[in-house]
Copies of this chain bind each other. A is one copy, B any other.
């Protein structure tokens, strides 16, 4: 069977991701206390989103021969964490954003209290979905390790910790080191978790290969954020699907404010090359991870 094109591969993964999330959120509906809560959860998760985290999980699964059904669970668990963070991040006490993926944000559509509960319920659902990996041939010990990884990537040491730094640094001029630390936690940790959970869903990785994979994660994590900052300046809201220019307006430190637009673009390009170098030990099994690194840097939204 010839290797499908990136476009075809992505279309296939996106279709199964959407379908898996839809099924999970429908299954939840039958047991969910309140229709409104389920509607808000579906609003937050379905239709929209680049699904970069599930794509990374599936791509990383190629390295270790993981079963696609297991990768659905790993990828969607990370995506649910991402989705909950957006719901909470958009709320009035945080970014106060009204537009997300071209739709009203959850608190605009369902009210603030329901938005908070929606985010809380999606975080719990992520760990439930991940636990179901044991039903797809992933060893229980690996699942426990994945659960700890997801928790650390999401919590005070990871995403929530990064958001707290972000919150405290509005109007401050961070050093490049501080900015990197913030983004490594805020965005990088969860992207890395997607890659790790995908890889850990298959055969065990040798330590040297794990190190290579970690280097890839570091590179794409930073690249993702640098490009986010670039797009916040360059793109308009329609292309971006969210309010553009928010960072400058809120006086948030960004790579663009720190080093300027063309330097930031050059940094992203060098990180893209670092990601490819890190993948060399894996040979052709890392095809998709390499292509996703390109996609992260070359995307327009």
With known contacts A88-B116, A156-B121, A144–B148 Cβ distance under 8 A: no
Chain A residues 71 to 93 lying within 8 A of chain B, measured CB to CB, are 84-85, 88, 91, 93
B132 and A37 form a contact (CB under 8 A): no
Query: Interface on A for B, CB 8 Å cutoff?
Result: 28, 31-34, 36-38, 41, 84-85, 88, 91, 93-94, 111-114, 116-117, 119-121, 123-128, 130-132, 134, 139-141, 143-145, 147-148, 150-152, 154-158, 160-165, 167-168, 181-182, 185
Q: Could you say which of B88, B128, B144, B165 contacts A33, with CB atoms under 8 Å apart?
A: B165
Q: Could you say which of B88, B116, B155, B168 contacts A124, with CB atoms under 8 Å apart?
A: B155
With known contacts A93-B116, A147-B127, A164–B34 Cβ distance under 8 A: yes
In the complex, the chain B residue whose C-beta lies closest to that of A169 is B34
Minimum CB–CB distance for A100 against chain B, Å: 17
A164 and B114 form a contact (CB under 8 A): yes
Number of copies: 2
Q: Which residues of B contact A111 (CB under 8 A)?
A: 93
Interface centre among A128, A130, A145 (most CB of B within 10 A): A128
Minimum CB–CB distance for A34 against chain B, Å: 4
Q: Which residues of B contact A112 (CB under 8 A)?
A: 93
With known contacts A28-B157, A34-B164, A168-B36, A134–B124 Cβ distance under 8 A: no
B33 and A162 form a contact (CB under 8 A): yes
Interface centre among A91, A120, A128, A154 (most CB of B within 10 A): A120
Complex Cα gap A144–B147 (Å): 9
B117 and A164 form a contact (CB under 8 A): yes
Complex Cα gap A114–B121 (Å): 19
In the complex, the chain B residue whose C-beta lies closest to that of A154 is B124
Given contacts A32-B157, A37-B156, A117-B163, 17 further A-B contacts (CB under 8 A): A28-B156, A31-B156, A32-B156, A36-B164, A84-B120, A88-B117, A93-B113, A124-B156, A126-B151, A127-B127, A128-B151, A128-B152, A128-B155, A131-B144, A132-B148, A134-B144, A140-B140
